Every structure is written in C-alpha cells, then in structure tokens.
Structure 1
Amino acid sequence: MTSTPEILSISTPAPFPDHTQLPESDGTFVKNFQEHPQSILLTDSITPVLQHIHPTGDYCIGQDSGIYWRMMDPPEKGAEAPDWFYVGNVPPVLNNQMRRSYVLWQELIPPLIVLEFVSGNGEEERDKTPWVGKFWVYEQVIRPAFYGIYEVQQSRVEVYHLVENRYELVTENQRGHFSIPPLGVELGIWQGLYQNVTLPWLRWWDADGNLLLTGDERAEQEKQRADLLAAKLRELGIDPDNLC
C-alpha cells in the first residue's frame, strides 16, 4: 500500500500594514491653541511655491500627522508625529483615500523638511537617545533633509541639515533666516498679528527676502492696490466705477 505524501503547509508572512490599517492618532491632545494656526500659516503661505514646483500636485503636507518608521506594539509607538512636514513627489491621496498617516515602508521617500513646535524646554525635540529620542529618529531613520525646532517662547528656530548622515546646525543668513535651497525659500521668525494673536510666528520668505503671504494677505494687498488706483483716478476726475 502506497502512502500519500504529507503536504507541508507553508505560512505566508502577513503583509506590512498601510496607512488605512495604522492608527491616525495616539489619543493625545494638541499641546496648545497656537499649534494649528501655526501649521495653517506655514501651509497657506508656501502653497503657491509648492504648486509651481509640483504642477501635477504630487506633494503632500502633514500637520500633526504620524510618520510610521517601524513596526511596534502598539503600532503608534513606531511613529513620530511632527507638527508640520512636507514630502515631494507623492500624491496627497493614496488608493482613493486621503492619507491617514505617512508610512515609510510603503512610500520610501523621506520628507524634505520636518518642523517641531516646542511646548516645553526643547529637551524632547533634541533627544539623541538611540531608537527613542526624537532627534535620533529623525536623523538616523526618517532622515528628512531639514529638521527645524521652533521655540515660540524663545522667539527662535533652530534648523538642521542632514550632511553625510549627521545633522549639522544651519547658520542664519544676514536677514536672520535659514535657507531651504530645494524649495528656494527661507525660514525664520516674523513678529506680527495672525488669527487675532500677536506672536513670533514661524514663516517663509523667498530667496530675495520677501515674505510669502497667506491667501488673506494677498487678497488684502490687492484690495489696497485697487483702492489706491481708484483714489488716483478720482483725483484726475475719472470715476473708476465707469471704467470697463
């Protein structure tokens, strides 16, 4: 009697989870009321620059969103959630869904710049403890080309540039700004009123030192130009409302 050979069962490793299968929050609160307006200010003002660089819209911006860099239990322990970051050459929508997080093992492209808004003394953002410290994780694993630490209470920002696998502190230019050459912009501190609050806000300038305006600021600037032109026409006896 011949025996039937035993069929061995070979288990297939489970695929790595994607952004739809990983937690989009660790359940903690935003640290203060300034963080979201600060993120919106950065995004709003740099959008025309990014649209010029990426005419097809292939870029994404994360605001207090998770960047997953390793598998952990629970999963959110394997993620960092920068207050603001930008990644080029990836679409904002993935598999017909808005991104819930950014998953490095799925995307492979690191962010170009990551910004952290300090709520304490900055110790957490400068922690270089291997596998634990935020600075170490950004430098050695996530590896954004630029890492900024913004301290609103100190009215300052530190910017680091990844050079030969190590972060080097970027020196500010004559305007007190930090150059981000791949974007053609500068990052610095602007003291002013935004969303009804006067603070030393983190903002962008172009390479010539011109402040990048938000949509509301651009609209107000155009209104002032139109009002000035109308006033000059009236001085000449011309009714601007009758002009085609």
Structure 2
Amino acid sequence: MSLAQDLNIPDDTWEDIVIPPTDLWSDEPPLESDLHRQQMDALITSLEWWWRNRNDFYVSGNLTIYYSEDQIKSRDFRGPDFFVVLGTERRPRKSWVVWGESGKYPNVIVEILSNSTADVDRGVKKQIYQDILRTPDYFWFHPVTLEFAGFHLVGGQYQPIEPNPQGWLWSQQLELYLGIHQRKLRFFTTEGQLLPIPEEVAIEVQRQAEEERQQKELAQATVEEERQQKELAQATAEEERQQKELAQARVEQLAAKLRELGIDPDA
C-alpha cells in the first residue's frame, strides 16, 4: 500500500503535495565561549557514557530543530544548546527534523545562558518550547553567574521545579538530577552519584590502575621481605647449629685430652 493510500489522499491531490526535505543541515551560530562549549560537551558526553548500553535516545547540542515548513522559509531556526529525545534511534544526524522523526520533539532541553541570549532563552525560546515543542523538561544555566532554573510542563504550562536540599533540580524525563558541581551543570543519580565525563572516567581508571600497581608492588615487597626474613632465620639457625657443633667438638677434644692424662672426664 502506498503512502497516499495510507493517508487516504486521492492520487490527483497527492501529486500536488510537496513533502518538505528531511535531510537538512543544522544552521546554528557558534557557541559564545569556551565555557559554553565545555558546558555543552559535559552534559552530552556524561549522558552518552551513562547510557552507553542504550540505543533508544538521541542527545546533541547547538543543533537546529526543524519543526515546521514556515520555519524553513523564514529561517527562524531554533537550536537548543543541549537536548535529548527519548524513544528514538541512536545515530548521528545533521539536524533534528521533526517530520522526519515520527513527529518526535525533545523531551529535555537545556539552554546555556549568556548576556546576549539570556532574555531570548527566558522568553521567546521558553514560549516555543512550551507551546510548540511541548518539551516536558526545560532548564537554563549561566556558566558565569551560575543562574540555574528548571521547569516541568504541567497542563500545557511550565511550572518551576523545586530544588532538593542540595539545590539540584529533578528531570522526570531523564530520571536524573541536574545540579551545579565545580561551577558546571552536571547530572546526578537519585543516590547522589555524579555522572562522570569521559575525562573523569579515564582519570579514575588511571587512578585505580596506579593503586593496583602500588598494591601489587607492596605485595611483592612484602613477599620479598618475608623471603629475606626466612633466609635470615635459616642462616641464623645454621649458624647456631654450627656453633653448637663447634662447642660439642671442643668438649670432645677436651675429654680426649683428659683421657690421655688418665683422667676420667665423666668423674
């Protein structure tokens, strides 16, 4: 069955329909600073590592989300600094084209604020994410001032997410907390475990390897020390045996001389 039949569209009408392209390149400006890039990378790579055994999500950043044909004509592009789509195929993309992705929109969006974009992120973009994309969880974070806020979609309206005692905000979609750690926005589990970035994983692996090497060297040194102590004990015992034999030989020599002189050494 053809797509026209599936949609119950007459053949003569179908010929007039122009399907918008789905293979579109992203058209986003570069991030404003190294802080913004590092923050985006930290969120992306830590989540990818945490979900390394999953293939049902897509995570990216500073990538255009195409959600309407009018948007293409007006070039009014919207590319969140970080977003996650759940229940989709994990593979590289040029952009996120909603009509080419079974109508799926981001489940989570994080905007990294700057002085030039903060008003748009708090205003226009928030409205688009609420009313058009209907993204359930929306957060923003300023890497310089550390301004941090989060919202969850309730009845079609964003409601502020209340922080926990650590100041972290809960993402219902990710089932993870977002919180500030060493001046960066990071993910935490319900148990408070920090989701590591690959560099931290590598450092931890190296630390564990170094610790294991040191423990192995210590064990080898202990074995060597025990071997040396055993050899020393054996040498001491041999020396004592030799001294005992020497003393016994002297006693026997003395007894022999006494017998030569006609003296009974046992008397």
| TM-score (normalizing by structure 1) | 0.77
Q: CA–CA distance in 2 between the matches of 1:30 and 1:181?
A: 27
User: Are positions 1:156 and 2:147 aligned together?
Assistant: yes
- What are the residue-to-residue correspondences of 1:24-173 with 2, within 5 Å? 24-26=26-28, 28-52=29-53, 54=54, 57-72=55-70, 74-75=72-73, 77-93=75-91, 98-107=92-101, 108-120=103-115, 122-127=118-123, 133-173=124-164
User: Are positions 1:12 and 2:6 aligned together?
Assistant: no
Shift of 1:209: 0.8
User: By percentage of residues, which structure has more strand?
Assistant: 1
Partner of residue 206, structure 2:
223
RMSD: 2.4
Shift of 1:50: 2.4
Among residues 194, 198, 208, which one is paired with 2:191 in the alignment?
208
Instruction: Show structure 2 runs of 5+ residues with no match.
Output: 1-11, 224-267
Q: How many residues align?
A: 209
User: By percentage of residues, which structure has more helix?
Assistant: 2
| Percent of residue pairs identical | 21
Q: CA–CA distance in 1 between the matches of 2:31 and 2:202?
A: 30
Larger Rg: 2
Letter in 2 for 1:211: L
Shift of 1:169: 0.7
Q: CA–CA distance in 2 between the matches of 1:230 and 1:23?
A: 49
Instruction: Show structure 1 runs of 5+ residues with no match.
Output: 1-8, 128-132, 192-199
Shift of 1:238: 4.4
